Amino acid sequence: MRKVYLDHIAAAPLHPEVSSAMMPFLTDKYGNVQSIHLFGQHLQTAVEEARCQTAGLINAKSEEVYFTSSGSEANNFAVKGLALAHQKKGRHIVLSAIEHQSVLYSAKSLEKLGFSVTHVPVDKQGVIDPSDVKKAIKTETILVSTLLASSEIGTVEPLKEIAAVCHDQDVLVHSDAVAAAGNIPVDIRSLDVDALSLSANQFYGPQGNAALFLKKGVRILPFIDGGIQESGRRAGTENVAGIVGMGKAAELARMNMAARNSKILPLRDKLIAVLPNAVERMIVTGDIKHRLPHHVSFCVEFIEGEAMLLSLSMKGIAASSGSACTSKALKASHVLLAIGLDHALAQGSLVFSLIEDNKEKDIDYLLDVFPPIIERLRSMSPLYAKYQEEK
C-alpha cells in the first residue's frame, strides 16, 4: 500500500540538516546555558546563534526573539502578557472570530479577570476586514490579536493594513503567524506588528520549539515566572538542542522558501482544481488566491470528517480535519462556522497540507482513491439518501 503524508501543517518532518545540527547537543555537548563555566558558555553561544537565525527568518533583531515551548505558549505569552502589562490604559481586547484556541482561551482567561473582548467577523473566505477592526477599537482597547494565516482554511490575512489601523489609534498588535512563518515571507518591519508567534515544526524544525517576537521597547509580563532565562521574560532551563534545531530550520526556510513553494504550488493548485469536480457537493474553504502555498481545505457534504480521515488512513493517506488542536474534538470548527457554513457541512472538513517531498504521483493517488471513499461513505448516509430522493 502506498503511503502519502499530507498532514504537514500538524507536524512536518525534521529536515536532515536540522537533525544533524541538533545531534551534538543531545550527546556530547551538554551543560546549562546559565552556567559561567566553559561548558555553559559554549551552549550560550549556540543558543544566541539560533536566536539570530530565527530572527533572520522574520527580519527581526535577535534581542527581540524569545524562545518558547510551542506556538500555543507563545500566543498565551503575548495575549496575557501584553494585556496585563498595559491594563492601566484599558482592559479591552479585539480578536478575529477565527483565532486559534490558544488565543481565544487566553482571552477567556482574561475575561475572568475583568477584561472585555470583542470578536471581529470574517467574510465567507475567512478574510478579516481592517475597517471592521477599526470599528471594534474603543478608547480602552489595548490589544488587537489576529492571525496572519489560518491553519484550518489557509487564508492569508491583510495583517499590514490591520496593524496600520491599530497603530493609528495607539493599540498594540499581536499576530499568530504559526501557520505562516517559514512558509510565506514574513517581515515584521513591513507588517509593523508589536508581537508575533512562530513555531519550528511548521518549517521542518523540531516539535516543542517556538518563539515570540516582541518589538524592542514593548512592555510585557512574563508568562512563566522563575529564573532569569530569556532576558528574565521566560523562565525555565533552555532546550538547547531544540533551540539549535529551530534556528537551523529558520535559516533553511529563509534560504529555500521560494524553491520549496515552486514545487508545492502546482500540486496544491491541482488538488484545488480537480478534487471538487470529482466529488459532488464538495467545496473549497478559504480564499483561493490569498492562501498558504502548501494548504488545501475542503468540506464534503453528508459525511463527517472523522470517517473520511479513517478511510483515507486505511489507504495509507494522512490528512486532518480542522486544526491539530481540534481534530479529535468531534464538533464543528468555530472557524468554519465563522465563514458561514452550517454545522452539518462544517463537520465534513478536510485539510491536506504538502511539503516539497510530495510528488505528483502522491496527488494522483489521492485523486484516485478519494472519490470511491466518498461514494462508499455516502451509501451509508441517511442524509445523502434523503438528498438523492429530493433531487
3-state helix, strand, coil in the chain (%, to 5): 45, 15, 40
Which DSSP symbol is given to 252? Answer: H
Residue among 52, 166, 299, 325 flagged as catalytic: 325
Q: Provide φ and ψ at 218, rounded to 5°.
A: -85, 130
Residue 292 contacts residue 344 (beta carbons within 8 Å)? no
| 23 DSSP assignment | G
CA–CA dist 31, 44 (Å, integer): 10
Task: Report the helix count and the strand count for the chain, using DSSP H and E.
Answer: 13, 12
Phi-psi region of 87 (alpha: psi -120 to 50; beta: other; left: phi over 0): alpha
Question: Which residues have a Cβ under 8 Å from the Cβ of 262 and sit 6 or more positions away?
Answer: none
Q: What distance in Å separates the CA atoms of residue 13 and residue 363, rounded to the nearest whole number?
A: 19
| DSSP assigned state of 144 | E
> Which three-class secondary structure state does DSSP give residue 51?
helix
- 325 in catalytic set: yes
- Sheet containing strand 210-214, strands side by side: 65-68, 210-214, 195-199, 172-176, 141-145, 92-96, 116-120
Active site positions, annotated: 325
